[in-house]
């Protein structure tokens, strides 16, 4: 039987601002699956206007059917625009201006802009509540994976104890490429693989936002607020990227039964809100160890539902466009809900947890001068800092980048502040040839 709900109903008329990879993907998706989307949303979704910086750029799609508007802010006042989709990016500037004006005009706003949501999400959510309209951002976290809906709706009845995962496809591509090269007997270091990632389009010309963990931290702060009902706190995320991971770390992790992944982790409890993006050693029996290439994955642990595992493409025109259009379908159905799963006034203030009090095992890697007494110096520093060593491995010059010796330590479970104390005791030592690397082990 044919679903006739969309026949004769007023379409949801949409303006799209930003016609890059994702904007083009949204147009292609609505053109390709328009009839199916109309049936699922109960009415057609129709693009009536578009806007971007460069009218003359060839985007590989025919835009002649849509009205081009140079002044994107004029779209929010148009009577023939019911909702605005923002795909230009940036935490501030034009994107934020557009969001504020759109919500103030009482029109639903859909965005893929994780930086803007991480920095201004609470204020925008408050504006949406005041106006009684939707603020939707499924595409801002993990591309096409419906993790926002999963936390806000599917797991809404649960108390979430912890949320964590692989939140940046660029970093995961680099790490898993290094991993595969190591397995093939042809170790490759970070810098070399990064250049390949840039050539293939997996990394930007300036990759700092990704490889230094900022992109993942934006996403983590959003997930934490949704999972725990706490106020957004991007500034409370401790961030370490992957630019100091070397081929020898990949090899040592494999020998110990782990794989290295950049993991964003958030946990809430009586001690406060813990948020960290950090390269970690993930056991081979954990699902995150098998998330390869540019894929993303998120794990949420609920007190009744147990462990939820979301995996899929974290970027790209198709997956991200899929998330954007899913939000438009909600708007077309008049399914709004609070942006952060509850009214902004109900979100809890939470102090930042003391990471030093966390208990766990860690991996420490040093590149040191090849001379007598160096191991004793490191052992003394760990002893005086209260670190219990589970294993210590010394490799020759082939494993180190600077002609020295590589020393890798795995600790017994202990407070993380003791690891920081160890590094402080070794700071300035002429035995160290490079910055030490610390990666905690995922329990």
Q: Write out the catalytic residue numbers.
A: 219
DSSP state string for 273-341: EEEEEEEEEEETTSGGGG--TTEEEEEEEETTTEEEEEEEE-SSHHHHHHHHHHHHHHHHTT----TTS
**Residues in CB range of 120: below 8 A, 6 or more apart:** 91, 92, 96, 99
Q: State whether the Cα torsion 238-242-246-252 is positive or negative.
A: positive
DSSP state string for 331-360: HHTT----TTSS-GGGSBP-PBP-GGG-EE
**Residues in CB range of 114: below 8 A, 6 or more apart:** 137, 140, 141, 215, 218, 219, 222
Contact 265, 282 (CB under 8 A): no
Contact 81, 49 (CB under 8 A): yes
Q: What is the DSSP letter of 154?
A: I
Secondary structure (3-state) at 161: strand
- As a whole number of Å, the end-to-end CA separation of the chain is 51
Q: Which tokens in the block code for residue 396? A: 């020759």
Strand duo 295-302 + 160-166: pairing: antiparallel
Which helix (H) or strand (E) is 95 found in, with range? helix 93-104
Contact 356, 416 (CB under 8 A): yes
Q: How far is CA 324 from CA 99, 136, 418, in A?
A: 15, 8, 45
């Amino acid at each position: 039987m044919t679903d006739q709900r969309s026949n004769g109903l007023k379409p949801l008329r949409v303006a799209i601002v930003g016609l890059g990879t994702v904007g083009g993907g949204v147009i292609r998706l609505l053109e390709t699956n328009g009839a199916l989307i109309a049936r699922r949303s109960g009415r057609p979704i129709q693009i009536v206007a578009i806007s971007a910086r460069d009218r003359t750029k060839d985007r590989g799609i025919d835009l002649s059917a849509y009205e081009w508007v140079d002044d994107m802010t004029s779209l929010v006042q148009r009577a023939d625009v019911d909702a605005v989709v923002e795909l230009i990016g940036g935490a501030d500037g034009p994107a934020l201006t557009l969001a504020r004006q759109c919500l103030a005009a009482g029109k639903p706003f859909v965005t893929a802009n994780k930086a803007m949501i991480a920095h201004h999400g609470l204020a925008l959510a408050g504006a949406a509540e005041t106006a009684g309209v939707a603020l939707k951002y499924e595409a801002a976290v993990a591309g096409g994976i419906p993790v926002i809906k999963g936390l806000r709706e599917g797991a809404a009845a649960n108390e979430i104890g912890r949320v964590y995962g692989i939140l940046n496809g660029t970093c995961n591509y680099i790490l898993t490429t290094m991993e595969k090269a190591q397995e093939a007997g042809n170790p490759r270091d970070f810098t070399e693989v990064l250049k390949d990632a840039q050539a293939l389009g997996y990394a930007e010309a300036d990759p700092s936002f990704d490889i230094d963990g900022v992109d993942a931290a934006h996403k983590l702060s959003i997930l934490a607020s949704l999972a725990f009902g706490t106020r957004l706190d991007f500034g409370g995320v401790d961030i370490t990227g992957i630019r100091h991971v070397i081929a020898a770390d990949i090899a040592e992790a494999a020998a110990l039964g782990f794989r290295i992944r950049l993991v964003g982790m958030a946990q809430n409890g009586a001690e406060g809100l813990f948020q960290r993006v950090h390269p970690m050693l993930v056991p081979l029996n954990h699902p995150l160890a098998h998330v390869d290439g540019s894929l993303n994955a998120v794990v949420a642990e609920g007190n009744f539902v147990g462990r939820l595992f979301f995996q899929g493409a974290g970027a790209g025109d198709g997956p991200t466009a899929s998330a954007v259009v899913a939000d438009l379908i909600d708007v077309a159905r008049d399914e709004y809900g609070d942006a952060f799963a509850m009214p902004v006034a109900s979100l809890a203030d939470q102090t930042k947890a003391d990471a030093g009090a966390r208990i766990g095992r860690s991996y420490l890697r040093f590149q040191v001068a090849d001379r007598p007494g160096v191991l004793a110096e490191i052992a003394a520093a760990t002893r005086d800092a209260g670190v219990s060593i589970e294993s210590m491995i010394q490799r020759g010059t082939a494993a180190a980048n600077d002609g020295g010796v590589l020393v890798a330590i795995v600790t017994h479970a202990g407070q993380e502040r003791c690891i920081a104390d160890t590094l402080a005791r070794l700071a300035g030592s002429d035995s160290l040839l490079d910055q030490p690397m610390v990666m905690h082990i995922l329990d």
